[in-house]
C-alpha cells in the first residue's frame, strides 16, 4: 500500500478571470481534500498560507467575483507585462517562498503553474505546454523574460514533472533532455456540469447573450496568436453566405495579447453580420453556451491539452480541431481535423462540420464517450499517485 502524503499546493494561479491554468489549479485544489491518500493539505498563495481555495464560492455559485479579487487579478496581469516587475517578482518570490516552505518539512510541494520555489522536500511542477520556447514570438516579451529566469531552474528542482498530454511530455524530453522516467503525462478532465441540456434550460442564458440554440458555431479562446482565430475567421468568411447566416461564428474568451490584426478581423466580420464576439463569459454561463452550439471549432497551432474542445464534446457538440500539437491525441478520433495554416482545408472541414449530418450524429456519440473517459477525479487520482511515488 502506497503511503499517504502531506502536500503543499500552490493556488496563486487561481484568480479571475479563471482561464486554462487557473481552471486546472482550481479543480485540483478543490478535489484533493476528497482523497484519503492526502493526509494534510496546505495552500500556498503568493506569499501567504490560505485556509480555503481562492474564489471557491464565486466559482461554484456563479455569483459575481468581488471587486477586491477583480482588482488583484488586474494588477497582477498589468505587472506581468513589465520587465522590471517580473525581475523584481522573481527575486522576492525566491526569497519569500523559500522561507515559507521551510515551515513545510516532510511535505511534497506541487506547483500547478510551471515554476518551483526552492524546497527541501520533493517537488512536482506541472508543465502545461512549451509554447514560450517553441513560439516565443507569440508571447509578450516580459513573459518570455520570466520564463528564461525561472523555468530551467524549476526543472532542476523537480523530482517529477507532470504534463497535460503525451505530446508535451515528448517535447520536454526532446527539448530539455529530461529523463523520461521523470515526466508523467496526466490528461486533464471535464466537469460534469458540461453536458447536453434541454432547450428550456438553455434559454435564459442564450436569450441574455443574444444566441439561438443550434444556430451558431462556437470558439472559446483567449485572443492571442497561437489560437489561430484569424485563420478561423478567414476560412469562415469563405463559406457560402447562406451557411454563415444560418450558423454565425461566436467567439468568447479573455482579451489576450498581440492581437491587433485579429481585432480588426473581428470588427470586419461583425460589420458583415456573421460574427458575434461575447468577450469573457462567466464560468456559470459557459456550459449553456457550449450546449447551445451547432458546432465547435478549435484551430490552435499549439496547445498543451485543449480543454475547451473536451468541454464541447461533453456537451454533445460536434468538434473541428487542429492536426497539430496534442489536439489529435486529446480528440481521440472523435473530431474532424484540419491544418489551421491550410486555409482551403480548413474551409472544407468547417463546411463538413456544419452540414454533414451523418458524420455529426456519429461525432456526438464519439465525443460524449471520449469526454466520459477523461474526468477531473481521474486526473486528480493520477496526480496523487505521482505525489506518492516521490514522497
Average pLDDT of span 260-288:
92
What are the cell numbers at 26?
482550481
Note the pLDDT of residue 306: 92
Q: 94-115 burial by CB neighbour count: b if 16+ within 10 A, else e?
A: eeebeebbeebeebbbbbbbbb
**CATH code of the domain occupying 199-373:** 3.40.50.2000
Note the pLDDT of residue 55: 63
Q: Which H or E element spans position 229?
A: helix 229-237
Q: What is the DSSP string of 30-46?
A: HHGGG-TTEEEEEEEET
CA distances from residue 113 to 22, 239, 300 in whole angstroms, order as listed: 9, 39, 21
CA 59 to the chain's CA centroid: 16
199-373 matches 5-189+376-390 in CATH topology: yes
Q: Tens digits of per-residue pLDDT, 75-113? A: 455 555 676 677 777 788 888 999 999 999 999 999 999
Question: Residue 125 forms beta bridges with which residues?
Answer: 111, 161
Strands (E), the chain: 5-10, 38-45, 48-50, 108-111, 123-127, 160-163, 183-185, 217-220, 249-252, 275-277, 295-298, 319-322, 336-338
Note the pLDDT of residue 19: 74
Average pLDDT of span 239-253:
96
Average pLDDT of span 233-245:
97
Please tell me the least confidently modeled range out of 89-98, 208-217, 350-359, 382-391. 89-98
Q: Tens digits of per-residue pLDDT, 147-164? A: 878 899 999 999 999 999
Note the pLDDT of residue 137: 75
Note the pLDDT of residue 62: 45
Domain boundaries, the chain: 5-189+376-390, 199-373
Fold observed for domain 5-189+376-390: Rossmann fold (3.40.50)
How much is the mean pLDDT over the chain?
A: 90
Note the pLDDT of residue 136: 77
Average pLDDT of span 27-52:
94
Amino acid at each position: 500500500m502506497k503511503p499517504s502524503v502531506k502536500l503543499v499546493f500552490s493556488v496563486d494561479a487561481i484568480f479571475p478571470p479563471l482561464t486554462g491554468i487557473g481552471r486546472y489549479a482550481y479543480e485540483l485544489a478543490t478535489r484533493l481534500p476528497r482523497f484519503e491518500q492526502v493526509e494534510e493539505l496546505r495552500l500556498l498563495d503568493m506569499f501567504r498560507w490560505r485556509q480555503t481555495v481562492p474564489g471557491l464560492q464565486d466559482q461554484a455559485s456563479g455569483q459575481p467575483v468581488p471587486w477586491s479579487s477583480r482588482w488583484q487579478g488586474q494588477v497582477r496581469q498589468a505587472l506581468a507585462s513589465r520587465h522590471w516587475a517580473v525581475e523584481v517578482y522573481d527575486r522576492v518570490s525566491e526569497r519569500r517562498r523559500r522561507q515559507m516552505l521551510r515551515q513545510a518539512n516532510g511535505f511534497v510541494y506541487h506547483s500547478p503553474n510551471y515554476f518551483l520555489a526552492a524546497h527541501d522536500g520533493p517537488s512536482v511542477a506541472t508543465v502545461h505546454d512549451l509554447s514560450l520556447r517553441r513560439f516565443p514570438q507569440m508571447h509578450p516579451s516580459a513573459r518570455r523574460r520570466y520564463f528564461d529566469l525561472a523555468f530551467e531552474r524549476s526543472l532542476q528542482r523537480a523530482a517529477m514533472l507532470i504534463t497535460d498530454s503525451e505530446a508535451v511530455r515528448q517535447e520536454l524530453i526532446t527539448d530539455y533532455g529530461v529523463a523520461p522516467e521523470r515526466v508523467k503525462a496526466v490528461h486533464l478532465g471535464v466537469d460534469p456540469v458540461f453536458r447536453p441540456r434541454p432547450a428550456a434550460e438553455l434559454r435564459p442564458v442564450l436569450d441574455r447573450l443574444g444566441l439561438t440554440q443550434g444556430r451558431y458555431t462556437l470558439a472559446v479562446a483567449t485572443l492571442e496568436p497561437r489560437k489561430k482565430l484569424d485563420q478561423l475567421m478567414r476560412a469562415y468568411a469563405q463559406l457560402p453566405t447562406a451557411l454563415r447566416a444560418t450558423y454565425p461564428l461566436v467567439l468568447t474568451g479573455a482579451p489576450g495579447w498581440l492581437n491587433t490584426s485579429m481585432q480588426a478581423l473581428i470588427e470586419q466580420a461583425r460589420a458583415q453580420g456573421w460574427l458575434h464576439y461575447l468577450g469573457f463569459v462567466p464560468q456559470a454561463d459557459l456550459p449553456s453556451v457550449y450546449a447551445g452550439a451547432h458546432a465547435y471549432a478549435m484551430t490552435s497551432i499549439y496547445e498543451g491539452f485543449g480543454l475547451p474542445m473536451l468541454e464541447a464534446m461533453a456537451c454533445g457538440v460536434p468538434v473541428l480541431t487542429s492536426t497539430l500539437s496534442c489536439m489529435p491525441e486529446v480528440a481521440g478520433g472523435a473530431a474532424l481535423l484540419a491544418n489551421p495554416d491550410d486555409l482551403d482545408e480548413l474551409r472544407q472541414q468547417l463546411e463538413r462540420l456544419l452540414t454533414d449530418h451523418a458524420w455529426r450524429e456519429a461525432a456526438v456519440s464519439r465525443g460524449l464517450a471520449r469526454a466520459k473517459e477523461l474526468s477531473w477525479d481521474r486526473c486528480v487520482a493520477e496526480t496523487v499517485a505521482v505525489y506518492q511515488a516521490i514522497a
